Amino acid sequence: MKLLAVFLLVFSMMTESSGDPVPDGGSPGDAASSDVSADEASDQVDLLQRSDSCPSGWTRINSRCFQYVQKSMSWAKAEKNCLSMGANLASVQDLNEYRKIKAMIDKISYGAKEAWIGGTNAQELTIWLWSDGSNFSYSDWCPGEPNNGGGNQRCIQINYSGEKCWDDMWCDHLQPSVCVKKP
């Protein structure tokens, strides 16, 4: 939709200026140099398309860019790593998005392994929050989870058990992670 809006704006600018008189008695060829050429419009459209795409190494899922990080880290170090890339540990907004994230992990790791996402209840035991600040409105907890098993399980790992669902886990556990950012 953005691409269409930019194209229409550029096109309308080109057609408006082509019918205008040339100032200072110049010739019509002189006015063309101030118009946006077709090549320039194409370059602007290409730039817009690139700005909506994900950087190399990232996978576009819905309107966001995801990256599976295979290096095992604690939850806090994984979040810090994501931040260094202009991202956060991933929030998950719906089942469709979660399925695509699992498929991305499966493809990259040759098997759906447990991984950190950005959910934590570090502030209050019964309130789960996303590290990117988005609304925590979707979850895919395994049966009986979150259970704070053994105490102090404050971070979310995905792809847990045969059901590949969510589990609360000790945040200092070392495992891969999933980062997310906007294009």
pLDDT tens figures, 92-112: 999 999 999 999 999 999 887
* Predicted pLDDT of residue 112: 72
CATH of the domain at 122: 3.10.100.10
| Mean pLDDT value across residues 1-30 | 38
Q: Is residue 5 one of the residues assigned to a domain?
A: no
Q: Is residue 149 one of the residues assigned to a domain?
A: yes
Report the domain count for the chain: 1
| Rounded CA separation 118/152 (Å) | 16
Q: Is residue 143 one of the residues assigned to a domain?
A: yes
Q: Is residue 73 one of the residues assigned to a domain?
A: yes
3-state secondary structure of 38: helix
Q: Is residue 25 one of the residues assigned to a domain?
A: no
CB 14 within 8 A of CB 35: yes
How confident is the prediction for the chain on average, in pLDDT? 81
Tokens of residue 116, six digits: 């950190």
Q: Is residue 113 one of the residues assigned to a domain?
A: yes
Cβ contacts of residue 117 below 8 Å, gap of 6+?
Answer: 89, 90, 91, 92, 156, 157, 158, 177, 178
pLDDT tens figures, 38-91: 555 444 433 334 457 999 999 999 999 999 999 999 999 999 999 999 999 999
Instruction: Single out the residue of 45, 176, 163, 58 nearest to residue 114, CA to CA.
Output: 176
Distances from the Cα of 123 to the Cα of 43, 73, 155, 171, angstroms: 48, 21, 11, 13
On the question of pLDDT at 4 being above 90, the answer is no
Read off the pTM.
0.72
On the question of pLDDT at 17 being above 80, the answer is no
